[in-house]
Chain A
Amino acid sequence: MKEFSYVVQDELGIHARPAGLLVKEAAKYPCDITLKCGEKKGNAKRIMNVMAMGVKKEMEVTVVCEGDQEDEAAAALEAFFKENL
Chain B
Amino acid sequence: MKVLSGKAAFKGVAIGKIREFGQKKVEVNKTSVSDAEAEIARFEAARDTASAQLGALYEKAVADVGEENAAIFEVHQMMLEDEDYLDGIKGMIRDDQVNAEYAVSVTGQNFSEIFAGMDDEYMKERAADVKDISARVVRILAGVEEGGAAMDEPSILVAEDLAPSETLQLDRSKVLAFVTRKGSTNSHTAILARTMNIPALVMVSDAVEVDGKMGIVDGKEGKLIVEPDEETLKNYQEKLEAQKKEQELLNSLKGRPSVTKDGRKVNLYANIGGVEDVEAVLANDAEGIGLFRSEFLYLQSNDYPTEEEQFEAYKAVAEKMNGKRVIIRTLDIGADKQIDYFELDKEENPALGYRAVRICLNKREVFKTQLRALCRASAYGRIAIMVPMIISVWEVQTVKEILEKIKEELREEGKEVGEIEFGIMIETPASVIIADELAKEVDFFSIGTNDLTQYTLAIDRQNAKLDMFYNAHHPAILRMIKMVVDAAHKEGIWAGICGELGADTTLTEEFVNMGVDELSVSPAMVLPVRNKVVNM
A residues at B contact (CB < 8 Å): 9-10, 12-13, 15-17, 19-20, 23-24, 43, 45-49, 51-52, 54, 56
Are B122 and A20 in touch, CB under 8 angstroms?
A: no
- Neighbouring A residues of B83 by C-beta, 8 Å: 43, 45-46
The segment from B68-76, B140-148, B252-260, B523-531 found at the interface with A is: B68-76
Size category, B interface: 20 to 34
CB nearest to B123 among chain A residues: A54
Contacts of A54 in B (CB 8 A): 118-120, 123
CB distance from B308 to the nearest CB of A (A): 6
Identify A16's interface contact among B119, B126, B309, CB under 8 A.
Answer: B126
Q: Are A16 and B84 in contact (CB under 8 A)?
A: no
Contact residue among B72, B78, B114 (Cβ-Cβ distance under 8 Å from A47): B78
Q: Is the CB of A46 within 8 A of B82?
A: yes
Which residues on B sit within 8 Å (CB–CB) of A45?
Answer: 83
Pairs A-B, 8 closest by C-beta atoms: A20-B75, A47-B78, A16-B75, A17-B71, A48-B82, A54-B118, A52-B114, A20-B78
- Chain B, Cβ-Cβ closest to A17: B71
Residues of B within 8 A of A19 (CB): 75
Nearest chain B residue, comparing its CB with the CB of A42:
B84
Q: Which residues in B have their C-beta under 8 angstroms from that of A52?
A: 114-115, 118
The answer to whether B312 touches A9, judged by C-beta atoms less than 8 angstroms apart, is yes
Tell me the complex Cα distance, A16–B122, Å: 9
**Does the CB pair B75–A9 fall under 8 Å?**
no
Known pairs A9-B308, A15-B122, A20-B71; list 16 more (Cβ under 8 Å). A9-B312, A15-B123, A16-B75, A16-B126, A16-B129, A20-B75, A23-B78, A24-B78, A43-B83, A46-B82, A47-B75, A47-B78, A47-B79, A48-B111, A48-B130, A56-B120
> Which of B71, B72, B79, B122 interacts with A48 by CB under 8 Å?
B79
Residues of B at under 8 Å CB distance from A? 68, 71-72, 74-75, 78-79, 81-85, 111, 114-115, 118-120, 122-123, 126, 129-130, 306, 308-309, 312
* Residues A17 and B85 in contact in the complex (CB < 8 Å), given A52-B114, A52-B118, A54-B118: no
Question: In the assembled complex, which residues on chain A have CB atoms less than 8 Å from the CB atom of B72?
Answer: 16-17
Which residue in chain A gives the minimum CB-CB distance to B120? A54
Residue of A12, A13, A20, A51 with most partner-chain B CB within 10 A: A51
Cα distance, A30 to B111, chains bound together (Å)? 26
Within the complex, the shortest CB–CB distance from B79 to chain A, in Å, comes to 6
Instruction: Please determine whether B309 and A9 come into contact, CB atoms closer than 8 angstroms.
Output: yes
14 contacts between A and B (CB under 8 A): A16-B129, A17-B68, A17-B71, A19-B75, A20-B71, A20-B74, A45-B83, A46-B82, A47-B81, A48-B111, A48-B130, A52-B115, A54-B119, A54-B123
Which residues from B are CB-within-8-Å of A17?
68, 71-72, 75
**Which residues from B are CB-within-8-Å of A9?**
306, 308-309, 312
**Is there contact, CB below 8 Å, between A51 and B120?**
no
Cα(A34)–Cα(B82), bound, Å: 15
| Chain B positions within 8 Å of A16 at CB level | 71-72, 75, 126, 129
B71 touching A46, Cβ below 8 Å = no
- Asked whether B82 lies within 8 Å of A47 as measured between CB atoms, the reply is yes
